[in-house]
Amino acid sequence: MECNLLDCSNPAEDHITCDVCFIPKYCSERCRNTDSAFHSTSCRPHLYTLKDFTVAKDIKILGTGAYGEVQLVQKNDSKKLFAMKLYRKAYVSQIIPLKILFREISLHKTLKHPNIIRLYDHLEDRVKIYLILEYAEKGSLFDLIRKKIKLAEKEIWPIFTQICVGLNYLHMKNLLHRDLKPENLLINKDDVIKICDFGWSARGTEQRVTFCGTLDYMSPEMLNNRQQSFKVDIWALGILLYEMLHGTPPYRAKNPRDMMRMVAEGRYNIGAHVSNNARQLISLLLQEDPESRPPIIEILKTQWVQQFSEQKLKPGWQVRHPEHGEGTVKESIGLVYTISFQDNDIELIENDLIRMCTIIDQTGEIVYEQSLSIQVKSKLDPEKSNAKKSPLYNKLGIDTAGKACLKPTIKSARNSRNNSGNNSPVVNEPQESLEPTRKNPRLPRSPKVIEEVKRSQQLPSRRFVKQDFEGMNFSPEPTPVQNAKRGGTPKSSFLQRFKKSND
């Protein structure tokens, strides 16, 4: 593994690392000191060890992919369920340096929002990397669309607005998601939407022209290799809204060239069942010029959002904001409120106000007090969606209060979309225990075993390193076949393109 400092490519030493999180490895004390200021912004101590978890018996695999698999695990003491992503270091390192992966992991750990999937901790041994993630009991939005084909606008509204709120949080953090799609939107047992998979995410302050994501959701500027901004996520919101209304994206193409032609023509059919307000919102979001697409705050003011919104705050109510101090609710449009603080007026989203602030009504009674776990309940009809209650919840003692849950034992959406980079076959290995069989994490003392482990950990040399590493795909993709050569051509279309650029 290379030194964690981006400007250094020397081999890292295991003993020169961060004393708090033990994630970055450096070649020298000088590199560690140089990188300390950047690393301190995302450094978090470890919360768990591999011994703290046991693989769930009834549902072991939640998904599979190129880098490994996603397992359902249970914490031994609290019996709480988590999703554990496994990455094979040897395979991931063929695509990007591991230090880039570790930087993205550290970044994800800092994201704390009700509509963002939580990354609690990262663990590793000599062969694999383990991510301890929040578990979403009802699966993905893709599974819901696949079961119901089309969703009613009343069902779509809480889903869409929650995605907007979570996306706004990312944009406020100067982060672009760049791969927003139903497969990357999870639903927990309380119908709260969770944005996940930040593998293609990038910092908004940096210029990006990377060709990445899923073809059905790629924006025109991405297809044409133009500069990307937050507006690539706004385009994806329009595609997402269309797909929830119709059961399929507006543009279906086999390759980027055909997609560019279809997007340039701007022709897509909207069903007669779609309201005029929803039609206008789709047209507003799917504008070819990125500068013409509205920001999140303006989307939440549109007529379609107003049509189903029920204002929880009233003009004249007092607001105590942790940063801006005391203010008064002035007016509201849709889910956006104008708050008059001492210095100026600021527009804030309703969910963020309730989550972050103390709200006092005109009688002096506290209505909301930093409700960090605020939930926007969706009106999903489990009966119509043919949802079934998983027997796992009864065996593990989870109370679902009689609510039906979508079956979580889903495969990754390998066959759901063309050109998504997840269409290759996968080889799953049985893995009952998370803890390595040997007690000592160091290499065994037997010379024969040492040679076998070394051969299994040899990494291919790279003559060229891609510069735009921020497009790391965290979503699991199919692992290579056991008999395949290490230097063979990757089966993913995106990896093939990357392989050619290296050669």
Q: Is 35 a catalytic site residue?
A: no
Q: Is 85 annotated as a binding residue?
A: yes
Q: Is 184 annotated as a binding residue?
A: yes
- Rounded to an integer, what distance in angstroms lies between the CA atom of residue 373 and that of residue 427? 39
Three-state DSSP class for residue 397: coil
- Rounded to an integer, what distance in angstroms lies between the CA atom of residue 99 and that of residue 2? 7
- Rounded to an integer, what distance in angstroms lies between the CA atom of residue 398 and that of residue 97? 40
Tokens of 32: 């560690």
Three-state SS string over 206-245 comes to CCECCCCCCHHHCCHHHHCCCCECCHHHHHHHHHHHHHHH
Query: Residue 422 CB: number of other CB atoms within 10 A?
Result: 28
Which candidate, 117, 123, 155, 152, places its Cα nearest to that of 137?
Answer: 117
Report the DSSP beta bridge partners of residue 71: 61, 84
Q: Is 183 annotated as a binding residue?
A: yes
Residue of 35, 52, 143, 179 marked catalytic: 179
Cβ burial 219-254 (10 Å sphere, 16+ → b, else e): bbbbbeeeebbbbbbbbbbbbbbbbbbbeebbbebe
Burial class (CB in 10 A: 0-12, 13-18, 19+), 206: exposed
Which candidate, 201, 207, 53, places its Cα nearest to that of 133?
Answer: 53
- Rounded to an integer, what distance in angstroms lies between the CA atom of residue 388 and that of residue 67? 30
Phi, psi of 330 (to 5 degrees): -95, -50
Q: Is 470 annotated as a binding residue?
A: no
Three-state SS string over 70-102 comes to EEEEEECCCCCEEEEEEEEHHHHCCCCCHHHHH
Annotated binding site for ATP: 85, 134-136, 183-184, 197
Annotated binding site: 85, 134-136, 183-184, 197
Which residues does the annotation mark as catalytic?
179
